[in-house]
């Protein structure tokens, strides 16, 4: 089939690569415009744009999808289907009827759970033991379209968001090819979502990374795994942010106030709402990341100190 591929973020790269190696034909790669970054504010392409240029693919980078000229261009390509993977922008409703075989999305969750822009992050943060990828037809409401295929996978108890994203991106690429083959054959199912079991995965904010020590140690640890690389997890100590990069949960009871340092002689443990959290790698605001024992050699933190 002939298709247009909409994608921007690294999660989309395995899907685009799989399509280029398949029998399907990518007419255009549609992605976000290059953006200024770094100290010099030089223009940098998103990962999908970089791959498209490397493979010498037709690249279309509209600033807005609502422009009538943009819609006219996409209509003129006469694609059978639009494929959307981590594009980063919503498709206007006028797009949904342009391709005769529909608009297909690869979404990294087990829909209807975790509709929204951060499904992998919130699956880890909430301590889920399983997640997956769903292919679906795009509908007017966000991530609410009929499902086509689902692939499930376990979440390792130590797995962090970047690792899970890499795995699901590969799973999603395989599921996308299976989906397109079924659409081409006319055998693709349309499975309505059970909206009663819908949950949301909202965009992260910097404040999401601020540790609430009244939470159980396991919950804080899950959020530490989930909120990488951004916003990270941090607390305040002497008016500065102390970022927590690695930690371990200890299930023995915490008798001290939540946020209180209970050990600081070579190891650093903090009382939580349930259990203790051992901080293994930390980074004080403006300083280098380091192992906790090295950090404590240069910073005195008496027991009883309260992190906020």
Mean pLDDT (whole number) for 266-292: 97
Handedness of CA 175, 139, 28, 38 (dihedral sign): negative
Provide the pLDDT for residue 38: 72
Give the C-alpha separation, 67 to 62, whole Å: 9
Provide the pLDDT for residue 91: 87
In a domain, 308, yes or no: no
Provide the pLDDT for residue 212: 98
Give the C-alpha separation, 210 to 205, whole Å: 10
Give the C-alpha separation, 222 to 283, whole Å: 19
122 and 246 fall within a common domain: no
Torsion of Cα atoms, 140 then 145 then 151 then 155, to 10°: 60
Handedness of CA 15, 143, 159, 128 (dihedral sign): negative
pLDDT of 9 higher than 90: yes
Query: What pLDDT digit, counting tens, does each position of 107-134 carry?
Result: 999 999 999 999 999 999 999 999 999 9
Task: Examine the fold and report which residue of 197, 215, 240 is the final residue of a domain before the chain moves on.
Answer: 197
pLDDT of 255 higher than 90: no
Q: What's the burial of 225, exposed, middle or buried (CB within 10 Å: 0-12/13-18/19+)?
A: buried
Query: What pLDDT digit, counting tens, does each position of 84-97 carry?
Result: 999 998 888 888 99
Per the prediction, the chain carries an average pLDDT of 96
In a domain, 303, yes or no: no
Kindly report which listed range (64-73, 155-164, 185-194, 229-238) carries the lowest average pLDDT score. 64-73
Provide the pLDDT for residue 220: 98
Q: Confidence band (pLDDT; 50, 70, 90) for 21?
A: very high
- Give the angle 154-155-160 at the CA atoms, nearest 5°: 155
- CA neighbor of 103 nearest in space, from 15, 196, 180: 180
**CATH number (domain holding residue 16):** 3.40.50.170
Mean pLDDT (whole number) for 98-106: 97
pLDDT of 40 higher than 90: no
pLDDT of 41 higher than 90: no
20 and 152 fall within a common domain: yes
In a domain, 25, yes or no: yes
33 φ, ψ (degrees, to nearest 5):
-65, 155
Task: Examine the fold and report which residue of 197, 226, 251 is the final residue of a domain before the chain moves on.
Answer: 197
Q: Confidence band (pLDDT; 50, 70, 90) for 295?
A: very high
Q: Which two tokens stand for residue 33?
A: 């415009």
Q: How many CA atoms lie within 13 A of 236 on its CB side?
A: 6
Provide the pLDDT for residue 251: 82
pLDDT of 193 higher than 80: yes
176 and 212 fall within a common domain: no
pLDDT above 90 covers a percentage of the chain that reads: 91
Provide the pLDDT for residue 88: 93
In a domain, 149, yes or no: yes
pLDDT of 8 higher than 90: yes
Give the C-alpha separation, 263 to 271, whole Å: 10
Q: Confidence band (pLDDT; 50, 70, 90) for 252?
A: confident
134 and 245 fall within a common domain: no
Task: Give the structural domain span for 102.
Answer: 2-197
**CATH number (domain holding residue 225):** 3.10.25.10
Query: What pLDDT digit, counting tens, does each position of 127-185 carry?
Result: 999 999 999 999 999 999 999 999 999 999 999 999 999 999 999 999 999 999 999 99
182 and 246 fall within a common domain: no
Structural domain total, the chain: 2
In a domain, 115, yes or no: yes
């Amino acid at each position: 089939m002939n298709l247009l591929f909409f994608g921007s973020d690294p999660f989309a790269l395995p899907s685009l690569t799989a399509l280029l190696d398949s029998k399907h034909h990518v007419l255009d790669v549609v992605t976000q415009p290059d953006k200024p970054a770094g100290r010099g504010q030089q223009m940098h392409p998103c990962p999908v744009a970089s791959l498209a240029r490397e493979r010498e693919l037709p690249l279309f980078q509209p600033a807005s999808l609502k422009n009538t000229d943009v819609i006219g261009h996409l209509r003129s390509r006469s694609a059978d289907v639009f494929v959307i993977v981590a594009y980063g922008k919503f498709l206007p409703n006028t797009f949904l009827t342009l391709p005769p075989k529909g608009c297909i999305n690869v979404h990294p969750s087990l829909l209807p759970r975790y509709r929204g822009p951060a499904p992998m992050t919130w699956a880890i943060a909430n301590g889920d033991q399983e997640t997956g990828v769903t292919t679906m037809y795009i509908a007017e409401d966000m991530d609410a379209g009929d499902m086509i295929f689902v692939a499930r996978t376990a979440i390792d108890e130590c797995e962090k968001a970047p690792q899970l994203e890499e795995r699901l991106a590969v799973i999603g690429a395989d599921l996308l090819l299976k989906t397109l083959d079924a659409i081409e054959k006319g055998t693709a199912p349309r499975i309505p979502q059970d909206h009663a079991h819908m949950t949301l995965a909202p965009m992260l904010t910097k404040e999401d990374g601020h540790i609430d020590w009244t939470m159980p140690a396991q919950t804080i640890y899950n959020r530490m795994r989930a909120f990488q690389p951004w916003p990270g997890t941090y607390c305040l100590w002497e008016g500065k942010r102390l970022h927590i990069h690695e930690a371990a949960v200890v299930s023995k009871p915490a008798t001290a106030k939540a946020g209180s340092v209970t050990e600081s002689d070579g190891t650093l443990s903090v009382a939580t709402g349930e259990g203790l959290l051992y901080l293994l790698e930390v980074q004080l605001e403006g300083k280098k990341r380091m192992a906790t024992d090295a950090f404590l050699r240069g910073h005195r933190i008496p027991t009883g100190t309260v992190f906020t």
